[in-house]
Structure 1
Amino acid sequence: MFSGLSAFPLTPMNETGIDEQAFLRLIKRLVESGVDSIGALGSTGSYVYLSRAERAYVARLAIEHAEGVPVMVGIGALRVRDVLDLAEDAQKAGASAVLLAPVSYQKLTDDEVFGLYESVSRSLSVPLCVYDNPSTTHFVFSDELHGRIARLPQVRSIKIPGVPEDPLAAKARVERLRALIPSHVTVGISGDAFGAAGLNAGCDVWYSVIGGLFPKTTLAITRAALDGQGNEAVRLSARLESLWALFRQYGSLRVIASAAEIQGLVNPPCLPLPLTTLNGNARRQLAEFLTDGGMDE
C-alpha cells in the first residue's frame, strides 16, 4: 500500500457538482497503467472545497472503480469532529487507507497536531498516512513530532514535502527522519519536482500529482529509482523541467487541471471557484510542453 507510485487524480467539478464521468475516466487511466495505489481527495482532488456528502460520493466512486488497486482517501478538515466523520465515511466505502493533513485556520501548536492524530488514529480500522504539506496547512512538522505521531496506532506512512537538491543532503534528511520513526512506517515523497530525488534518497513511495494524470510517465521515473537506476530517474525527471517551472509559478493543482483540460480528459471548467485553470501565455506554454514533452497520451 505504501510503496511505489501513489497517483493522486483530480476531482473534476464545476459549480453544479462533480463530473462523475470525467473522474471515472481518470480512475480508469490509473488502473490500466498499473499504479501501485490511488490517492483520492488529496490536495489535487480539492478535498477542502467539497461537502461531506460530496467527499463520500467521490470516495465511493474511486473505490468501486479501482478494480482492486488500493485507494487512500483524504479526510482532512478543520475540526476533529468532522475528521472523524470523514474517516467513518472512507472506511464504510472500503478505503485501504486514509490521508490526514493538519488543516486549520488558526495556526496549530505541536501538541494540538499530536492530539488530532491521536484522536483519529485510535478510531481507525485502516492505516493512516500523515500528510506533511506546509505550503497549504502552514504547519511545519519537526522530525521529533513525526516520531511521536508515527508511534500512534494505525500510522503507517509519512508524506513529506521536497528534499534538498544535493543527493547526499537528501539522503541524510530521509535518514534523520527514519531514525525517529518505527520501521513499519514508510516515508513518501511529494512535491513532484522532488520525486526522483526523494526516491533516490531512500523514500519508499512517491505521492504524485502528475501521477494522477500521466501515470506512465511517472511510473517510468518511479521504477527506475526503485530499481537502482537513479541517474535514469533523474534524467527522466529533468525532461519535465518546463512542467516543474509552471508548478512553481502557478501551483501544481492549476497546472495539472489545465493539462487535463488541454488533453480533453476533463470538461472545462474543472476546478471549484474561485480557483481557475491557466490562461494566456501560461496555458500556451503548457500546451506546447504537452505536445513536445512525451507525456502519456
Structure 2
Amino acid sequence: MFTGLSAFPMTPTTDLHIDEQAFTGLVTRMVDAGVDSIGALGSTGSYGYLTREERRRVAHLAVEAAGSTPVIVGIGALRTREVCRHAEDAQNAGAAAVLLAPMSYQPLTADEVYGLYETVARELSVPLCVYDNPGTTHFTFTDELHARIAQLPHVGSIKIPGVPADPALAAKRIETLRSQIPPAVTIGVSGDAFAATGLNAGCDAWYSAIAGVLPAPCLALTRAARSGDAATAVRLSRQFEPLWSIFRSHGSLRTVSAIAEDLGMVRAPNLPAPVQSLPPEVRTTVSSALQALRDHHLI
C-alpha cells in the first residue's frame, strides 16, 4: 500500500458545505486511472480547515468511491485527543491506513512529537504514515526522530519533503534515512517537482498532490521510475515544469484548485476561507501550462 503512486485529492468546499459530488468524482477519476492508493484529507485535502463531522464524512466518501483501492486518511490535529478521535473515525470509515502530521500552534519539541506518535500508534489497528511536512507544520524531523518513531507499532511509511535536486545527493539522502529505519518502513517522496528525482533515488512511493487532478501522467512517471527507466521519469517531470513553477510560487493547494476548475472537475468557490483562489493572471498561466501538457499528449 505504501508503494507506487498515492494520489491526494483536494476537498472541494465552501463555507456552507463540502461538494460531495465533486469530491467523489475526483476519487473515481483516480481509481479509474489505476493509482496505487488514495490519500484523503492531506494538506491538499484541507483537513485542518474541516470539522470532525466534515472529516468523518469525507473519509466515508473516499472509502466508498475508492472501492478496492486503499485509502489513507489524514488524522492530524492540534491536540492529541483530537488526533485519536480522527483516527477512530478513519478506521470506522474503513481506511486502510492513516496519515499523521504534527500540527501545532505552539512550536513542538522532538520529545513532544515522539509522544504524539507513541500515543496514536498504541491505539491504532491500521498502518500509519508519518507526514514530514515542515512547509505547513513548521516542524523539522531529524533522522534520529524518524528512527525512533519508525520503531513504533503500526508505522509503515515516512512521507518526506523534497529531496536534493542532484541525483547523487538525492540517492545519498534516501540511503542515509533508510539505514536508520526498519526495512519494512517505506519512504515516499512529496513535493511533486521532486518526484522523479526521489523515485529514481530509491523512494518507494510518490505521495502526490498533482495526481489528485492529473492521475494518468503521474502514474506513467511513477511506473517509469519504479521500473528503472529513470530517463523517461525525468523527461515526464520536465514536461510538467510550467506547473512546477506555479507550485513553487503559489503552493500546491491553490494551484490544484485552479487546475480542477480549468478542467471542469469542481465549481468555484472550492477553497475554505480565508484561503482564496489564484488571481486571474495566474489562472491564465495555469491554463497555458495545461495546454502545454496537452501538446505533449499527457492529458
Query: Which TM-score applies when normalising by structure 2?
Result: 0.98
Specify the code of the residue in structure 2 equivalent to 1:232.
T
1:59 to 2:78 alignment: no
1:95 offset after TM fit, Å?
A: 0.3
1:289 offset after TM fit, Å?
A: 1.3
1:296 offset after TM fit, Å?
A: 5.8
SS state of the match for residue 32, structure 1? helix
Instruction: State the alpha-carbon separation in 2 of the partners of residues 280 and 89 from structure 1.
Output: 38
The sequence identity of aligned pairs, in percent, is 61
The within-5 A match list for 1:143-154 is 143-154=143-154
The within-5 A match list for 1:46-125 is 46-125=46-125
Q: Partner residue of 2:257?
A: 257
What CA deviation, in whole Å up to 9, does each residue of 1:172-195 have, x standing for no partner?
Answer: 000000010000100000000000
Q: Partner residue of 2:238?
A: 238
SS state of the match for residue 66, structure 2? coil
Instruction: State the alpha-carbon separation in 2 of the partners of residues 292 and 233 from structure 1.
Output: 17
1:280 offset after TM fit, Å?
A: 2.2
1:155 to 2:155 alignment: yes
Instruction: State the alpha-carbon separation in 1 of the partners of residues 127 and 247 from structure 2.
Output: 30
Instruction: State the alpha-carbon separation in 2 of the partners of residues 192 and 89 from structure 1.
Output: 29
The within-5 A match list for 1:1-297 is 1-294=1-294, 297=299
Instruction: State the alpha-carbon separation in 2 of the partners of residues 291 and 199 from structure 1.
Output: 26
Unaligned runs of 5+ in 1: none
Instruction: State the alpha-carbon separation in 1 of the partners of residues 261 and 108 from structure 2.
Output: 36
1:83 offset after TM fit, Å?
A: 0.2
Instruction: State the alpha-carbon separation in 1 of the partners of residues 298 and 195 from structure 2.
Output: 18
Q: How many residues align?
A: 297
1:276 offset after TM fit, Å?
A: 1.2
Specify the code of the residue in structure 2 equivalent to 1:11.
T
SS state of the match for residue 157, structure 2? strand
SS state of the match for residue 44, structure 2? helix
Question: RMSD in angstroms over aligned alpha carbons?
Answer: 0.8
Return structure 1 stretches of 4+ with deviation > 2 angstroms. 294-297
Instruction: State the alpha-carbon separation in 1 of the partners of residues 61 and 281 from structure 2.
Output: 35
Specify the code of the residue in structure 1 equivalent to 2:167.
P
What CA deviation, in whole Å up to 9, does each residue of 1:98-123 have, x standing for no partner?
Answer: 00000000110000000000000010
Instruction: State the alpha-carbon separation in 1 of the partners of residues 219 and 277 from structure 2.
Output: 25
What CA deviation, in whole Å up to 9, does each residue of 1:231-282 have, x standing for no partner?
Answer: 1100100111110110010001000101101111001011001111112221
Unaligned runs of 5+ in 2: none
Query: Which TM-score applies when normalising by structure 1?
Result: 0.99
Q: Are the equivalent residues in 2 in contact too, given 1:3–1:205 (CA < 8 A)? A: yes
What CA deviation, in whole Å up to 9, does each residue of 1:114-154 have, x standing for no partner?
Answer: 00000000100000000000000000000010000000000
Q: Provide closer, same or farther for how the CA distance between residues 262 and 133 of structure 1 changes in structure 2, counting only shifts above 3 A.
A: same
Instruction: State the alpha-carbon separation in 2 of the partners of residues 123 and 284 from structure 1.
Output: 47
Q: Are the equivalent residues in 2 in contact too, given 1:215–1:296 (CA < 8 A)? A: no
Instruction: State the alpha-carbon separation in 2 of the partners of residues 192 and 228 from structure 1.
Output: 19
What CA deviation, in whole Å up to 9, does each residue of 1:7-65 have, x standing for no partner?
Answer: 00010011111000000110110110000000000000000000000000000000011
